[in-house]
Amino acid sequence: MSPIVFIALKLLTERKRQALVSTLGVAIGVAAFISMSAVMNGFQLYFIRQAIDINAHITLRVQEEDDEGRILRAAYGDGVVADVLGSRPKELKDKIIGYNNFLRQYTADPRVMGIAPHLTGEGIINYGTKDRGVSMIGVDPALERTASVVDDYLEHKNLDKLVTDRNSVILGSELARDLGIKEIGKKITIVSPTGGLYTLEVADFFDSGITSIDKTRVYFNMRTLQAILDKPNQVNELIVKLHDVDDAENIALEMSRDTGYYAESWQRAFRNFLQIFKMQNMITFMIVFAILIVSAFGIFNIMMMTVLEKKKDIAILKAIGYEDREITRIFVLQGILVGFVGALLGCLFGYLIQEWLASLQFDIVGIIRTKGFVLDRSPSYFVYGFLFAMLFSFLASFYPSWRASKLFPVDIFRSSV
């Protein structure tokens, strides 16, 4: 064993209680970082994965524009300055013209996994004495499978029933629960925006785990919804699935320029949630940072007390030939040993906490619905936690080590006489 390592261990074991407290402080900080990151990022990744797979990576639609000054500019030109009050919104032609051309164009694009047309609208669903406002979506099942993972969330896998029986619908699971529908085959009534009544049969239930979607969404055969909304051969939305979801924003801008329609990426559609997730991550890192700072002060305190108590030993070491950098190494090594052991224990505690959280089974109902915690068990959290602990331990021990190396043996021997 190296003399420097032997001396560092000897000095450290003489203050067992303080060393143990500092080691536990580091371990708690690392375990907190690992477990909190797994919980927070697990929730966020689950929400993002569900949201973008169920909706779309890119949605192409008609953009609603409310230009109050359009009439004045048409009459007097662009030079007029006026404040228009009480302007009625311009009638919006909510359809994508030539959508079949877009389907062929982007199906051939190597960046695109799939593209599917939608017809969307609002309506009221009635079952018995209960009424609910719903978001109606008309789909082509064959194309829908290429652009979304709707099949994965159907309880009975009856998406093709929309083709074989056009008078069938698929209800969101929470919507069905609110209406009191517990099994397929039930008859429901759809009230269209124009007041028409249509009786349809429930073919399946859609359970995405996102409450806002499962409480409002109803899937129809495209032709059926076109008839209900009196929009023959029309679609008002194209959904696109990409190979690289991170490139959605750039491709959306390109699609907007090429088609003249508004293309919305998933990043833009869920930007409010993404901002909330950033704040959550910031709060998590601040808490863990504070824990690690406290543990670093514990290491700093041990090193400073050791330096003050071991002045004579330091003087003897320097007198027999130990250089400043070797004295520094002795005390830095003590801090690194505390950080190393604490980091290893923290990784172990973090893993055990993850296992314990994963074993808990209870209903979480909010923005998403799950059975227990959704964890992201990325090995990177263990790596980052370990590195953070080692960095803080080194920084906490460096100044006391430097102070120890600057002690003058003569001054110490004189003060002890």
Best CA proximity match to 57, nearest among 262, 252, 254: 252
For the chain, the domains span: 3-52+273-416, 63-68+87-260
Partner residues linked to 220 by β-bridges: 138
User: Is the whole model's pTM more than 0.85, yes or no?
Assistant: no
**Dihedral of CA 246/247/253/258: which sign?**
negative
Per DSSP, the residues of 146-188 read HH--GGGGBSS--TTHHHH-TTEEEEEHHHHHHHT--STT-EE
- Please tell me which of 80-94, 372-386, 397-411 the model is most confident about, judged by mean pLDDT: 372-386
With a CB cutoff of 8 Å and minimum separation 6, the contacts of 287 are 32, 36
pLDDT band at 271 (very low <50, low <70, confident <90, very high): confident
SS (H, E, C) 73-100: HHHHCCCCCCCCCCCCCCCCCCCCCCHH
pLDDT in tens, 342-382: 889 999 999 999 989 888 876 665 556 667 777 888 898 89
Higher model confidence: residue 45 or residue 248?
248
Mean local confidence (pLDDT), 140-148: 89
- pLDDT at position 405, please? 67
With a CB cutoff of 8 Å and minimum separation 6, the contacts of 113 are 146, 147, 241, 242, 243
Distance CA 177, CA 17 (A): 58
